[in-house]
Structure 1
Amino acid sequence: MQWKIYQKHQGKKTDVQDCQWIQKLHSIGLLSGSFLPDLQTEQLRTYCRHRAGLIDLAADTSKKMQKYLRLLNLRLDIIVKDICGLTGLKMIEAICNGETDAQKLASLRNGNCKKSEAEMQKALQSNGRKDYLFALKQEYQMYQNLQNQIKDCDIEIKKLLQDQIDSNNNKKQHYTDPKIHKRVNKNTPKNIDLNLMGYQYFRRSRFVKI
């Protein structure tokens, strides 16, 4: 039925006929309802969407840092799983501060790294190009700035959720034990127990995607 109406409507698109088509779909039960959030949900959605946008920008910046590291002949991408992990960021910071000694850079490795210091040294032989180093510094500063903005978003999200929970006795009474062994995603808010707050806010154990 919906396809026949659509075929009939093709080639005659006007605002009036769009309205008539939508009214027809609604009258025969083919138009699904829309979700109309309350003010608090709208605010939470705004914070979460903005945060997701910042994470996307940080990911793009990470790719650019990797590009300039390669141009500097610093193959950080083959010696660490994530150049924006603990080891990677330590090394990038040192490189941006002017460190070129491969041995000193390799000594910054975290104990969990699979590659040895000797293996890392072979991949960290800088060619000393100042133009690439300048661009790397700019991207690193932008990455750090984005991380600070993401933290600010986390603070606002936590404040909004906590205010709603504290003002509702029904929400406050819900409780779930924290997970002892929990896999941590680097993009997950660090100072929010999403499992607990999601259970309290939505009265179920699954939280909205952030």
Structure 2
Amino acid sequence: MPLEKQGIYALVVNARHVKQVPGRKTDLADAQWLAILARSGLLRGSFVPPRDLRTLRLISRQMQKLTGILSGEKNRMHKVLTDGGIRLAVVVSDIHGKSAREMVKGLLRGETPNRCCNMPAND
């Protein structure tokens, strides 16, 4: 059962805003100090976004991560082709477009570079 239904409301508090207890540091002393501050109304809770917003942020971060990975792989493929003497940028305007991908697939199938350059893109 959630704590709120039991009448317990938890606060997420920035540790920098809570003055430290003088003397020896223990979890018990910290808990007692936080309880005193909470009873006195001196703790200000940090913003905790609603579940929907947290999910949206998670999806957004994952999308950014995957986009970065994809860009790195595209750059790696371009470097491998260039190091192998295959300069796709001379033949196509977008080296990651559909035509370029079809040309690379043709090369991987063992077709000659001249044949691959004359391939129409399949729709």
> What is the TM-score normalised by the length of structure 2?
0.56
Following the alignment from structure 2 to structure 1, what is the Cα–Cα distance between the partners of residues 47 and 95? 40
* 2:64 aligned residue: 52
Moved over 6 A (4+): none
Following the alignment from structure 1 to structure 2, what is the Cα–Cα distance between the partners of residues 106 and 72? 16
Would the aligned equivalents of 1:66 and 1:77 in 2 still touch at CA under 8 Å?
A: no
Report the identity percentage.
27
Following the alignment from structure 2 to structure 1, what is the Cα–Cα distance between the partners of residues 119 and 47? 50
Q: For residues 54-203 of structure 1, what are the structure 2 equivalents within 5 Å?
A: 54-102=66-114, 104-110=115-121
Following the alignment from structure 2 to structure 1, what is the Cα–Cα distance between the partners of residues 46 and 79? 44
* 1:166 aligned residue: none
Closer, same or farther: CA 39–88 of 1 in aligned 2, 3 Å: same
Following the alignment from structure 1 to structure 2, what is the Cα–Cα distance between the partners of residues 58 and 108? 25
Following the alignment from structure 1 to structure 2, what is the Cα–Cα distance between the partners of residues 73 and 43? 45
Would the aligned equivalents of 1:80 and 1:87 in 2 still touch at CA under 8 Å?
A: yes
How many Å apart are 1:61 and its aligned residue? 0.5
1:89-124 residue CA offsets vs partner (Å, 9 max, x unmatched): 11111111111241x2112245xxxxxxxxxxxxxx
RMSD after superposition: 2.6
> What is the TM-score normalised by the length of structure 1?
0.35
Would the aligned equivalents of 2:89 and 2:95 in 1 still touch at CA under 8 Å?
A: yes
Closer, same or farther: CA 107–36 of 1 in aligned 2, 3 Å: same
Closer, same or farther: CA 74–36 of 1 in aligned 2, 3 Å: same
Instruction: Return the index of the structure with the highest Cα Rg.
Output: 2
What stretches of structure 2 of length at least 5 have no aligned partner?
1-13, 20-44
How many Å apart are 1:69 and its aligned residue? 0.6
1:43 is matched with which residue: 33, 38, 55?
55
How many Å apart are 1:53 and its aligned residue? 0.7
Aligned residues: 83
